[in-house]
Amino acid sequence: MSESRDESIAQLEDQLDGASRTLSSLDALNARQAERVAARMDRLASQLMEVSPPVAMEAVHQRLGTTPASSEDFAAVVDQMGSADGDG
């Protein structure tokens, strides 16, 4: 099962590489074509999110160059928010 999955992932990577080369070789897309490509890429990204585990927050912070909030920072935000209004 794992070998089949690895082969499928390798095929997907090859296809994505091909799509990337194709896009980079195009001189320009008109607005309609660009919207269609973007919509398909959004759908693919959504599908990947469904089958992939979420990125660990540590990796997100590294990529963005941020640091996680401390417990004190979080408590300060909660204090600034005030009490709940009971609407939800």
pLDDT band at residue 82 using 50, 70 and 90 as cut-offs: confident
Backbone angles phi, psi at 38, to 5 degrees: -65, -40
pLDDT at site 47: 84
pLDDT at site 65: 92
Task: Please enumerate in sequence order all residues whose Cβ is within 8 A of that of 23, keeping only pairs 6 or more positions apart, or say none.
Answer: 37
Report which residue type is found at 55.
V
Express each pLDDT in 54-65 by its tens digit. 778 888 888 899
pLDDT band at residue 1 using 50, 70 and 90 as cut-offs: low
Residue spans of the domains in the chain: they are 2-81
